[in-house]
Amino acid sequence: MRDEAGVGSVILSLVVPVLKEAGNLEHLLPELRAYNPPVEIIVADGGSDDGTIDLVARWPGVRLVSSDRGRARQMNAGARVAAGEVLLFLHADTRLPAGFPELVARALADPKVVGGHFDVRFDNPRWPFRVIAWFMNTRSRWSGIATGDQALFVRRAVFEMLGAYPDIPLMEDVELSRRLKRAGRVTCLRPPVTTGARKWEREGVARTVGLMWLLRFLYVCGVSPTRLHDWYYPALAKPGLRSSTGGRHEGAA
CATH of the structural domain 12-243, one choice from 3.30.460.90, 3.40.190.10, 3.40.50.300, 3.90.550.10: 3.90.550.10
**Secondary structure class of 36 (helix, strand, coil):** coil
Q: Looking at the chain, how many residues does it have?
A: 253
Q: What is the pLDDT of residues 2-60, one digit of tens each?
A: 343 333 456 899 999 999 999 999 999 999 998 877 899 999 999 999 999 999 999 98
Q: Using 50, 70 and 90 to split pLDDT, how confident is the model at 167? A: very high
For a pLDDT cut of 90, what percent of the chain falls above it?
A: 66
Closest CA to 19 of 61, 60, 67, 63: 67
Higher pLDDT, 141 or 227: 141
Q: Using 50, 70 and 90 to split pLDDT, how confident is the model at 149? A: very high
Longest dimension (CA), the chain: 51
- Report phi then psi at 196, rounded to 5: -70, 145
**Secondary structure class of 122 (helix, strand, coil):** strand
Do residues 147 and 136 lie in contact, with contact meaning Cβ atoms separated by under 8 Å? yes
* HEC letters along 55-70: HHHCCCCEEEEECCCC
- The confidence score (pLDDT) of residue 217 equals 64
- The confidence score (pLDDT) of residue 37 equals 74
CB atoms within 10 A of CB 65: 18
Domain extents for the chain? 12-243
- The confidence score (pLDDT) of residue 213 equals 67
> What is the mean pLDDT of the segment spanning 204-223?
68
